[in-house]
């Protein structure tokens, strides 16, 4: 079976944060730099080393990276060193970039570049341009990125900066690689490779070999690809970069699977796993297990295949790595189909579709950008049409004047012609004005929808990047504290549960915000996922969910409906003492009918009519332009019904 895989090596090399480099691995460089710092005497020497150390900590310890950057900044501010501050701004920009804050990163790369130009330091200017190009490329603004890289190459050549030239050539090669222009990418990688060889820069030589291996693999030249990968693996081992060595072993295995050598690929995947474990780096280990499972599936070793695929999937869920989840679910689905397990295959197909939908939501932002470009093009076309109209009217006016001079004797005919021209001109203007108004209305509507979606995406990004990352940090910190014997583990476990619930609720909120429309089947799937934890926590409670009809809910309707159900379920679990809950959602004659029925103890409606939960349910029903009815009495359970149009 020939199958293309997500390329871990290119994921690391093309999206990497490091834009400067030497011939040593990061641990080796840090060890030497810290040793030099202990011997440094002058403030300038210390500040220089602070910058270097901060730059090497960017991707492995952001706290230390910020600490050393600030220490260098204080010294350079006091000494008013423009060159030092320029370098320090670039270091600060690099930290922001490693934390996925591109706007702040751009700000400080521009500051660093400005100071570098003022003090005529072309080396720092090249570094700033490479950083700006990297940000533009990661934001899919390839033309602007190419401009920055070309400019950095020209400056590096004029300054005889061999490292700057090599880095610029490699980044230009990355640009062509992203756009699948393999011939040009190969040309620039080879030029960069020669320069890195002259500098004896082993990590960068290894990266170029890995990129060339990727090109050969995607061109179907698997033997050549494996040769490049094997050379890269040896060099990564020499530099002590075990993580990159592990990735290259995985790339060799994938090339072997794609060339029909699944059996031969297994030792390389096992080497990759062993190398990852020895380096105590689990960043891509989930994907390696998935690839190993695919290889076992291809050679009919189904027990090992299932074990590896499930392990990779569960690790991807815990990471979370949504692309590896997709690859794992696809492989598990294929595995169950191949082993004739139809029911299991159907379950994993449903999970696969849910993950693909989540990935599609991310891609939606790219579609919006494409739409913006389309409207910009249409505006230019409209301006061109207006210019043509002006030229046509000028030509008509000239024709009219010429006709007056030539045919002055034919006064009556002239009047007729003049009247006809005026009428025709009016018709043309009227027609174009009508077209312009219609286009303006359509454009305004499209821009409004675009701005609304942009705002929703911004809010979801803010929730995910800010609150989500903080909650994840809290959760990780609690896990660490839980290992300490002196800490009250009972309290920590409870806090961790609450934090995990908050993270789950945040993800669900982001999903609801991102969705423009949700069909009923998809809504029911999400609802079933929501109630699973309640059933797991309370074995005596049976929750039955049913639906009928077919309809599509807009984002507002889906959000409010979900919150109503959420409020109802929480109230039932807290107060109803029920062992059965029925949730039904029906679409009929242009309206949605929701009922929540339990067999609990019920309550006196008059006694609790001001309850906050019931108020929330009624308020959300009103927000949907619908109605809410609550039936309950002591000892007879409760029924909540909500109706609203769609």
CATH number of the domain that 521 lies in?
A: 3.30.565.10
pLDDT digits (tens, 9 = 90+) for 241-285: 788 888 888 899 999 998 999 999 999 999 988 888 887 667 788
pLDDT at 110: 95
Q: What is the mean pLDDT of residues 87-103?
A: 93
Same domain, yes or no: 521 and 641 = yes
Find the range with the poorest average confidence among 166-180, 312-326, 363-377, 545-559.
363-377
Q: How confident is the model at residue 18 (pLDDT cuts 50, 70, 90)?
A: very low
Task: Assess whether 462 and 543 both reside in one domain.
Answer: no
Model pLDDT, residue 535:
83
Average pLDDT, the chain: 82
Q: How far is residue 510's CA from residue 513's CA, in Å, rounded to a whole number?
A: 5
- pLDDT at res. 530: 87
Please check whether residues 455 and 549 belong to one and the same domain: no
Can you give the residue range of the structural domain that contains 614? 517-645
For the stretch 189-205, pLDDT in tens is: 999 999 999 999 888 89
Q: In this predicted model, which residue has the larger pLDDT, 79 or 420?
A: 79
Closest listed residue to residue 582, CA positions, set 593, 572, 595:
595
**Is 326 inside a domain boundary?**
no
For residue 29, what pLDDT is reported? 77
Residue with tokens 């990355």: 174
Domain count, the chain: 2
Portion of the chain with pLDDT greater than 90, in percent:
35
Q: Is 161 exposed, middle or buried (0-12, 13-18, 19+ CB in 10 A)?
A: buried
% of the chain at pLDDT higher than 70: 80
Same-domain pairing of 532 and 629: yes
The predicted structure's pLDDT at residue 415: 81
pLDDT of residue 616: 86
- Between 45 and 485, where is the model more confident? 45
Residue 19 has pLDDT above 50, yes or no: no
Residues 526 and 611 in one domain: yes
pLDDT band per the 50, 70, 90 thresholds, residue 81: very high
Mean pLDDT of 489-505: 69
Rounded CA gap, 184 and 396, in Å? 52
**Has residue 174 been placed in a domain?**
no
Give the per-residue pLDDT at 533: 85
Q: Could you say which of 476, 506, 533 is where a domain stops?
A: 476
Considering the domain boundaries, does residue 136 fall inside one? no
Judgement on whether residues 533 and 629 belong to the same structural domain of the protein: yes
Residue 556 falls within a domain, yes or no? yes
Which pLDDT score is estimated for 549?
84
521 and 638 in a single domain? The answer is: yes
User: pLDDT confidence of 606, banded at 50, 70, 90?
Assistant: confident
Is residue 552 situated within a structural domain? yes
Q: Is the residue at 521 inside a domain?
A: yes
For residue 152, the model assigns a pLDDT of 94
The string of pLDDT tens digits covering residues 430-447 is: 877 777 777 667 765 656
As a dihedral over the C-alpha atoms of residue 272, residue 275, residue 276, residue 281, rounded to 10 degrees, the angle is: -150
Task: In whole angstroms, give the CA distance from residue 156 to residue 572.
Answer: 69
**Cβ proximity of 69 and 54 under 8 Å:** yes
Res 242: pLDDT: 81
Residue with tokens 């995990």, as numbered in its chain = 500
Mean pLDDT of 299-309: 92
Do 460 and 562 belong to one domain? no
Question: What pLDDT is recorded for position 138?
Answer: 84
When mean pLDDT is compared across 84-98, 289-303, 603-617, the lowest value belongs to 603-617
Alpha carbon distance 70, 325 (integer Å) = 39
Lowest pLDDT segment from 318-332, 398-412, 472-486: 472-486
Give pLDDT, residue 9: 55
Query: What's the average model confidence in pLDDT over 232-238?
Result: 87
Laid out side by side, the sheet with 542-548 consists of 542-548, 580-588, 591-598, 638-645, 627-632
Residue 451: closest CA among 372, 370, 555, 517: 372
Predicted TM-score (pTM) of the model is 0.52
What DSSP element (H or E) covers 330?
Answer: helix 322-338
Residue 521: pLDDT over 50: yes
Per-residue model confidence as pLDDT tens digits over 413-472: 878 777 778 888 888 888 777 777 776 677 656 565 655 555 555 565 555 555 655 666
**Tokens standing for residue 615:** 């108020």
Question: What's the pLDDT tens digit per position in 124-183?
Answer: 999 999 999 999 988 888 889 999 999 999 999 999 999 999 999 999 998 898 888 999
Q: Which of 28-32, 90-94, 239-243, 605-609 has the lowest mean pLDDT?
A: 605-609
Residue 215 has pLDDT above 70, yes or no: yes
Residue 513 reports pLDDT greater than 80: no
Supply 605's token pair: 């409606």
Contact 585, 593 (CB under 8 A): yes
Let me know if residue 570 belongs to a domain: yes
Residue 88 has pLDDT above 80, yes or no: yes
Residues 459 and 542 in one domain: no
CB neighbourhood size of 455 (10 A): 11
Q: Are residues 524 and 425 in the same domain?
A: no
Which of the two residues, 175 and 17, has the higher pLDDT score? 175
CA distances 366 to 6, 128, 214, 423, 509, Å, are 20, 26, 25, 47, 21
Q: Are residues 530 and 608 in the same domain?
A: yes
What per-residue confidence (pLDDT) applies to 129?
A: 94
Same domain (yes/no): 535, 625: yes
Is 331 part of a structural domain of the chain?
Answer: no
Q: pLDDT tens digits, residue range 342-362?
A: 888 889 898 889 888 887 777
Give the whole-angstrom CA distance, residue 251 versus residue 233.
10
């Amino acid at each position: 079976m020939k199958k293309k895989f997500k390329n871990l090596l290119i994921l690391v090399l093309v999206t990497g944060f490091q834009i400067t480099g030497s011939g040593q691995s990061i641990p080796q460089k840090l060890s030497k730099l810290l040793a030099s710092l202990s011997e440094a005497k002058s403030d300038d020497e210390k500040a220089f080393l602070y910058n270097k150390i901060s730059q090497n900590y960017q991707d492995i310890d952001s706290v230390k990276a910020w600490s050393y950057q600030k220490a260098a900044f204080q010294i350079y501010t006091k000494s008013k060193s423009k060159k030092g501050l320029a370098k320090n701004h670039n270091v600060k920009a690099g930290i922001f970039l490693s934390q996925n804050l591109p706007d702040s990163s751009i700000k400080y790369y521009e500051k660093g570049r400005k100071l570098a130009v003022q003090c005529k330091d072309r080396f720092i200017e090249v570094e700033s341009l490479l950083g700006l190009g990297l940000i533009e490329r990661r934001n899919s603004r390839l033309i602007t990125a190419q401009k920055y890289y070309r400019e950095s190459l020209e400056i590096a050549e004029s300054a005889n900066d061999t490292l700057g030239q090599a880095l610029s050539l490699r980044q230009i090669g990355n640009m062509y690689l992203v756009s699948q222009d393999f011939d040009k990418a190969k040309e620039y990688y080879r030029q960069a490779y020669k320069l890195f060889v002259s500098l004896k820069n082993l990590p960068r030589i290894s990266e170029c070999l890995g990129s060339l291996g990727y090109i050969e693999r995607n061109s179907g030249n698997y033997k050549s690809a494996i040769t490049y990968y094997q050379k890269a693996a040896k060099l990564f081992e020499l530099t002590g970069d075990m993580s990159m060595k592990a990735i290259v072993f995985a790339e060799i295995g994938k090339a072997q699977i794609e060339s029909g050598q699944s059996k031969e690929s297994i030792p390389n995947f096992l080497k990759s796993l062993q190398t990852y474990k020895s380096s105590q780096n689990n960043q891509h280990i989930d994907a390696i297990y998935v690839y190993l499972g695919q290889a076992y599936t291809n050679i009919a070793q189904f027990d090992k295949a299932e074990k590896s695929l499930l392990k990779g999937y569960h690790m991807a869920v815990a990471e979370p790595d949504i692309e590896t989840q997709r690859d794992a679910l696809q492989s598990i689905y294929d595995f169950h189909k191949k082993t004739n397990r139809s029911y299991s295959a159907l379950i994993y197909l449903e999970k696969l579709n849910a993950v693909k939908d989540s990935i599609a939501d991310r891609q939606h932002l790219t579609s919006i950008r494409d739409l913006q470009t389309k409207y910009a093009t249409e505006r230019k076309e409209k301006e061109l049409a207006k210019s043509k109209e002006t030229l046509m009217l000028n030509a008509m006016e000239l024709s009219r004047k010429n006709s007056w001079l030539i045919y002055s004797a034919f006064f009556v005919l002239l009047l007729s012609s003049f009247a006809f021209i005026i009428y025709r001109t009016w018709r043309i203007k009227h027609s174009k004005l009508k077209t312009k108004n219609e286009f303006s209305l359509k454009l305004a509507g499209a821009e409004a929808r675009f701005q609304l979606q942009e705002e929703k995406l911004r809010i979801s990004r803010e929730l995910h990047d800010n609150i989500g990352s903080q909650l994840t940090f809290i959760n990780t910190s609690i896990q660490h504290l839980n290992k300490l014997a002196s800490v009250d583990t009972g309290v920590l476990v409870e806090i961790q549960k609450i934090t995990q619930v908050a993270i789950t609720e945040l993800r669900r909120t982001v999903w609801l915000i991102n969705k423009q429309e949700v069909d009923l089947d998809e809504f029911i799937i999400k609802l079933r996922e929501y109630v699973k934890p309640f059933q797991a926590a309370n074995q005596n409670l049976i929750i039955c969910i049913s639906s009928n009809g077919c309809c599509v809910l807009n984002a507002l309707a889906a959000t409010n409906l979900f919150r109503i159900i959420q409020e109802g379920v929480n109230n039932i679990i807290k107060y109803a003492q029920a062992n059965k809950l029925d949730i039904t959602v029906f679409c009929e004659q242009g309206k949605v009918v929701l009922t929540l029925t339990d067999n609990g103890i019920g309550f006196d409606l008059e006694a609790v009519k001001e309850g906050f939960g019931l108020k929330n349910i009624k308020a959300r029903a009103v927000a949907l332009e619908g109605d809410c009815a609550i039936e309950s009495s002591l000892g007879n359970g409760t029924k909540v019904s909500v109706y609203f149009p769609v």
